[in-house]
Structure 1
Amino acid sequence: MEVGIIILAAGESKRMGIPKQLLDVNGKSLLLNVIDSALDTSCYPVTVVVGAHKKAIVPVLKDLPINIVDNPRWESGMAGSIKMGMVGSYLLSKTIEAVIITTSDMPEVSSSVLKTLIEKARATNANIITSKYNDAIGVPALIKRPFFEELLNLEGDQGARQIFKKYKNELVSIDFNGGAIDLDTKEDYYNYVNSQN
């Protein structure tokens, strides 16, 4: 199964006050950690959607075998970044059978988590495979081609959760407790870094 990956990194990091995509965790930025995890899978292409802090982020990504897509309307929310990732990486015109969507502020995302999503997709007939944590479902999530149109019709800042809610009876999930950790504030960041030491 041919799978592409879209990494959402266009946000303003308003609550953090600085570009959280570039925060250092264990000697590597949050964004590079997710990119490296993606590149350690068989997925292609790997697409990073930038926006608010593209001037700071893009130079860090040079020489990496990835697509970089700019979302000039990043303020409109996560849905716009998903659309830009789908269109800008030409996923629609390729033989891609599914796409994994993830964000750049989840430090526990690893290649094994991404590979588990793909394995679950291969083993089931489900078109949507989400991650499950804290009794909720979310990203990283794999969505197969029959639902690409739904991705392109998303609106607002809820991202793919709108699809998960609409088709909750048709999806399956993998357990990913680390998905509960996302770094939105400086307090989140310092607490996480301290927990690693």
Structure 2
Amino acid sequence: MKIGTIILAAGDSSRMGGEPKQLLTYKGQSLIRRITETALALQRGPVVVVLGANRERIVPELQGLPVTLVDNASWPTGQASSLKTGLAALYITHKDIDRVLVLHTDQPLVSLGLLLHMVEVGKDDQKGIIACRYDTQLSVPALFSRDYISDLLGLEGDKGVKWVIGKHRDDCSEVPFEAGAIDLDSRRDIEFFHQVLAQVQ
């Protein structure tokens, strides 16, 4: 199974006061470097990183990695434009992809083990979508069969993969991932994350 991975990293981290959350560090690595190396470790196909705001600060973090960097000039319009940009970059050179994996940079506890498990669930369940469940939502990391490319390309504005997942729940397998709720969107999120780490160490 050939999997094309899209890492969405174009946002401006507005809730962080302008400091790029992609450059926050966890275990000595920036979040963008960490999630990109995790995606590459899956060794199932090409990895595309979609950049927008703070591009010049983020690119050096990915130096030396065999990934495709693409710029989304329309990033202020919402996540949908970044998804479309990533999909276009994948399909220009890799039309034989079986599934598309969508990742965000702000979930520091996404692991290779989780991604491998999602691939296995996809094989076993034969569902078109494999999505992670945490809190009360089904969301990223999420794996889509090529049948859903048109749905993803049809998204507009701030509509993301959750909208496609919700529309096709009957064709979706759920993978429990409570740690996915740790989403570093704001300084408060970061403080909470560090408190949790201090308790478990």
Would you call these one fold, judging by a TM-score over 0.5? yes
Find the counterpart in structure 2 of residue 139 from structure 1.
Answer: 140
Give runs of aligned pairs for residues 15-54 of structure 1, distance below 5 A.
15-17=15-17, 18-54=19-55
Find the counterpart in structure 2 of residue 82 from structure 1.
Answer: 83
User: In terms of mean alpha carbon deviation, does 46-55 or 87-96 score higher?
Assistant: 87-96
Give the deviation of 1:191 after TM superposition. Answer: 2.2
Give the deviation of 1:26 after TM superposition. Answer: 1.6
Find the counterpart in structure 1 of residue 106 from structure 2.
Answer: 105
1:140-163 CA-partner distances (Å, limit 9, x unpaired)? 000001111111111111211111
How many Å separate the matches in 2 of 1:65 and 1:44? Answer: 11
Give the deviation of 1:90 after TM superposition. Answer: 2.6
Find the counterpart in structure 2 of residue 6 from structure 1.
Answer: 6
Task: Determine if contact 2:83/2:152 at 8 Å carries over to the other structure.
Answer: yes
Task: Determine if contact 1:78/1:156 at 8 Å carries over to the other structure.
Answer: yes
1:28-72 CA-partner distances (Å, limit 9, x unpaired)? 111111111111112210111010111111122121111111101
How many Å separate the matches in 2 of 1:91 and 1:118? Answer: 24
Give the deviation of 1:194 after TM superposition. Answer: 3.5
Residues matched between the structures, number:
197
Detail structure 1 runs of 4+ shifted over 3 Å in the superposition. none
DSSP-derived class of the 2:107 partner: coil
DSSP-derived class of the 1:161 partner: helix
Find the counterpart in structure 2 of residue 162 from structure 1.
Answer: 163
DSSP-derived class of the 1:182 partner: coil
How many Å separate the matches in 2 of 1:147 and 1:91? Answer: 17
How many Å separate the matches in 2 of 1:8 and 1:93? Answer: 18
Cα RMSD of the aligned pairs, angstroms, is 1.3
How many Å separate the matches in 2 of 1:117 and 1:68? Answer: 25
Higher helix share: 2
How many Å separate the matches in 2 of 1:152 and 1:122? Answer: 24
Task: Determine if contact 2:107/2:183 at 8 Å carries over to the other structure.
Answer: yes
User: In terms of mean alpha carbon deviation, does 89-98 or 170-179 score higher?
Assistant: 89-98
User: In terms of mean alpha carbon deviation, does 40-49 or 137-146 score higher?
Assistant: 40-49
Give the deviation of 1:91 after TM superposition. Answer: 6.1
Over the matched positions of the two proteins, sequence identity in percent amounts to 39
Gaps of 5+ in 2: none
**1:178 matched to 2:179:** yes
Give the deviation of 1:193 after TM superposition. Answer: 2.4
Gaps of 5+ in 1: none
Task: Determine if contact 1:4/1:91 at 8 Å carries over to the other structure.
Answer: no
